[in-house]
Every structure is written in C-alpha cells, then in structure tokens.
C-alpha cells in the first residue's frame, strides 16, 4: 500500500470508492457518480486543500479530503471526508491514512487535526480508537430550509 496526494485526475475513482463506502449500511445514502464527483471536486478546488489516497494493487482503497484552516493558536488540518472502500474496511487503510495525516501535520507545523463524525456510526469508534477526543462543549447544528 502507498499513500499519495490527490489530484484532479483521481476524482472519478475517488467518487467510486466514496459511493462504495456510503451507499450501503449503515448509511444507505444514494450518491450517483456525477454528484459524488462534483461533491469531491468542490473540496479539491477549495483554498488550503489537503487530500490523500491510499492505493493498493493500483486501486484506490481509501481517501481523505480536507483543508488547512487558520486558527488563532496555529493552523489546523480539518478532515472533511475520510472514506474506505466497503470491501477494504477493517484492513488498516483508514488508520494508515490517519497516520499519514499526522505526519503531514508535523511536516507543515500544523497544530492539530479536527474532524466531525456521527456518534451513532462506526466511524465514531474508529476515531476514538485512534486517540481522537470527543469535545462535549461543541454542538453541530443545522436548519432545514
């Protein structure tokens, strides 16, 4: 397995892996190729984009889309999306991506990694097992319009 930075040429394959991860239990989303590619392309074009692929046997098996965010103490890496192909989950690819992100932060002198996840989904326990801390004083809010 190797990890490398994401380029525009990777978006279609990333969208396939994204759909394989999320269009099944427990999420059961209904992503289509065109919409998933557009969604991921928006991250790629954002200021401060940082993204990495995990590749095994010349196939993308996992990806992380994020961005560097300015903060008053020091810049941070915000993980917007981290996903592993359904057939590749539980094999350490996500952990390797997270370790790569930590090394990236050390190289770029970034203070921390920040992310949001659903506490009722398997990713929550994955992040806890990788030493991420739940912060009780922050609340995710939205308003349907």
Q: What mean pLDDT do residues 83-89 have?
A: 93
Q: Quickly tell me which residue has 């993204």 as its tokens.
A: 51
pTM: 0.92
Give dist(CA 55, CA 89) in Å, integer.
13
Q: Is 43 left (phi over 0), alpha (psi -120 to 50) or beta?
A: alpha
Q: What mean pLDDT do residues 5-32 have?
A: 96
Per DSSP, 132 falls in state: -
Report DSSP letters for 47-75, one per residue: TTEEEEEEEETTEEEEEEEEEEE--SSS-
CA 61 to chain CA mean position, Å? 12
- Domain range summary for the chain, segments of one domain joined by +: 2-116
Residue 5's nearest CA partner among 58, 76, 55 is: 55
Residue 144 pLDDT greater than 90, yes or no: no
Q: Quickly tell me which residue has 């040429």 as its tokens.
A: 9
CA 33 to chain CA mean position, Å? 18
> What number does CATH give the domain 2-116?
3.40.630.30
Q: What is the pLDDT of residue 39?
A: 98
36-84 pLDDT per residue, tens = 999 999 999 999 999 999 999 999 999 999 999 999 999 999 999 999 9
Q: What is the pLDDT of residue 124?
A: 85
103-138 pLDDT per residue, tens = 999 999 999 999 998 888 888 888 888 888 988 888
Residue 11 pLDDT greater than 90, yes or no: yes
């Amino acid at each position: 397995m190797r990890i490398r930075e994401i380029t525009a040429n990777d978006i279609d394959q990333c969208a396939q892996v994204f759909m394989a991860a999320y269009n099944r239990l427990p999420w059961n989303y209904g992503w289509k190729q065109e919409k998933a590619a557009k969604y991921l392309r928006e991250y790629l074009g954002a200021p401060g984009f940082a993204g990495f692929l995990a590749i095994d046997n010349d196939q993308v098996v996992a990806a992380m889309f994020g961005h560097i965010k300015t903060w008053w103490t020091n810049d941070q890496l915000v993980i917007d999306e981290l996903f592993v192909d359904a057939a590749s989950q539980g094999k350490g690819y996500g952990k390797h991506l997270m370790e790569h992100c930590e090394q990236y932060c050390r190289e770029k002198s970034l203070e921390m990694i920040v992310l949001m996840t659903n506490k009722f989904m398997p990713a929550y326990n994955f992040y806890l097992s990788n030493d991420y801390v739940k912060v009780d004083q922050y609340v995710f809010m939205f308003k349907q319009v």
